[in-house]
Chains A and B, each alone.
Chain A
């Protein structure tokens, strides 16, 4: 049995991705388009079982698409849900007259609400209390699926794609909503698309951070670093340590890490195959990659006095043995490691420790 097909026509990429992600798990095949013209083409091409159409998008809007679908004898049974931005005008009378089956506001109250409404309509359920509307203006089709749907001549609009492509419509919000600081708490003067988004921000194409007034604006960045003490707070690189060795004339100040000392901790290795749905749902109860104390008696044998001022120097000079550290001390050191080391270095250390433990087995 083939999967039910859902056609989503919405110019918000976030809505497209959220709907895709959500319905992929529901066993529904999702087709997404960003404007009304593409929606009509896709509709004829894939013959969807249900249509979600934004009432405010480039080209024919949701009302027009709905009207075209409902006017065709062969397609009028296909449910159409209109999507309306919270701050966009919605003409309920018009929706009724074009035969829309339902409408939902964006942002969605809950994505489960959308899933439930779509499931009900796909199963042919209507509770009679929501928006189901009588189909009007029925016409006879030419026999093909969707009758190669076209917009009613009097409803055809001039090509507004270029003009409308400037609109954001992202995450179901318009400019007004964004400017009213509903996204984050910072004022935004102007929002427009990126010409090309880098890989690391694969979904940042809708908003240009350079237009945002924030404590991180370009003037502050230009003055970065902010003061002369800034460098002291940054982690040392390997090159820095080499330089320090040369200047100090000793290797004892910054010896290589002895991973035997990290024997205190056991780090279970977790493979990707272990990442199951069940594990995800019970993640809060039993977090993965847990560190466990190998021998709790060492807590009693601890002999650490005074605050560790700088673990990079103090730890080495005092030659503290890990066996003498309490769980609390290990945690304090671990916290300082996060402060001092970059993620890359920490990853490297973890990899080496795990490899060493593997060799011992």
Chain B
């Protein structure tokens, strides 16, 4: 039984080493009806992924301590269970190559900072919906 069927709010994993950004993204994602599980670095995010919790989507900063966002996505693709989770990457870096690297690692969306609330909401909706269609 998935989270929606059980009446439980679907969870979204958000990983960013900047507490202010983490808090703001949490606010935005919660408005979309999700429970946000925050992580402050790549290692913490990986442990949460391994904890057995189900996630409807994940939002990762590209540059994070311990494990970079792109690495984290690659790790997720070593497990069938985790590779189904759509990952949205974001970054404040101005390097245009990062988007290509994110996609090649397995992310399904890329959002350069600064972004608007509606951009994030729209991308999250698209990622989750596309994933639901793919799994049907």
Q: Is the CB of B48 within 8 A of A283?
A: yes
B136 interface residue per 8 A CB criterion? no
A147 interface residue per 8 A CB criterion? no
B21 interface residue per 8 A CB criterion? yes
Number of A-B pairs whose CB atoms are under 8 Å?
Answer: 175
B128 interface residue per 8 A CB criterion? no
Report the Cα distance A207→B77, complex, angstroms.
14
Which of A183, A208, A210, A339 has a CB less than 8 Å from the CB of B106?
A: A183
Q: Flag B60-74 by CB within 8 Å of A: 1 or 0 each.
A: 001100001011001
A–B pairs, 13, beta carbons within 8 Å = A22-B50, A201-B68, A201-B98, A201-B101, A202-B71, A203-B70, A212-B103, A287-B36, A288-B38, A339-B115, A339-B116, A347-B18, A349-B20
Known: A203-B68, A216-B100. A288 touches B93 (CB 8 A): no
Closest 4 CB pairs of A and B: A209-B100, A289-B19, A343-B92, A203-B71
Known: A281-B51, A339-B114, A342-B92. A347 touches B79 (CB 8 A): no
Report the Cα distance A18→B82, complex, angstroms.
13
Expressed in whole angstroms, the minimum distance between the Cβ of A71 and any Cβ of chain B is 31
Which of A171, A216, A267, A280 has a CB less than 8 Å from the CB of B78?
A: A171
Counting contact residues on chain B (CB < 8 A from A), the size range is 35 or more
Binding site for B on A (CB under 8 A): 12, 14-15, 17-18, 21-22, 106-112, 170-173, 182-186, 188, 191, 200-204, 207-210, 212, 214, 216-217, 221, 224, 235, 267, 270, 275, 280-281, 283-284, 287-291, 331, 334-335, 337-344, 346-347, 349-350
A residues in contact with B99, CB < 8 Å:
209, 214, 216
A residues in contact with B43, CB < 8 Å:
21
Expressed in whole angstroms, the minimum distance between the Cβ of A305 and any Cβ of chain B is 21
Q: Is the CB of A171 within 8 A of B20?
A: no
B123 interface residue per 8 A CB criterion? no
Report the Cα distance A209→B103, complex, angstroms.
8
Q: Is the CB of B101 within 8 A of A207?
A: yes
Known A289-B23, A338-B24; further 9 A-B contacts with Cβ < 8 A: A182-B83, A203-B68, A214-B103, A235-B114, A284-B53, A334-B24, A335-B117, A339-B115, A346-B21
A residues in contact with B27, CB < 8 Å:
331, 334-335
Q: Is the CB of B79 within 8 A of A109?
A: yes
Q: Is the CB of A350 within 8 A of B20?
A: yes
Expressed in whole angstroms, the minimum distance between the Cβ of A197 and any Cβ of chain B is 10
Report the Cα distance A215→B51, complex, angstroms.
35
B81 interface residue per 8 A CB criterion? yes
B96 interface residue per 8 A CB criterion? yes
Most central of A207, A212, A217 by chain B CB within 10 Å: A207
Known: A14-B75, A14-B78, A342-B92. A288 touches B104 (CB 8 A): no
Q: Is the CB of B92 within 8 A of A344?
A: yes
Which of A184, A202, A342, A350 has a CB less than 8 Å from the CB of B104?
A: A184
Known: A209-B101, A216-B96. A109 touches B21 (CB 8 A): no
Report the Cα distance A283→B12, complex, angstroms.
12
Q: Is the CB of B68 within 8 A of A290?
A: no
Report the Cα distance A23→B26, complex, angstroms.
31
Expressed in whole angstroms, the minimum distance between the Cβ of A281 and any Cβ of chain B is 7
B residues in contact with A173, CB < 8 Å:
77
Report the Cα distance A287→B11, complex, angstroms.
13
Q: Is the CB of A107 within 8 A of B79?
A: yes
Q: Flag B17-51 by CB within 8 Å of A: 1 or 0 each.
A: 01111111011100000011111100110111011
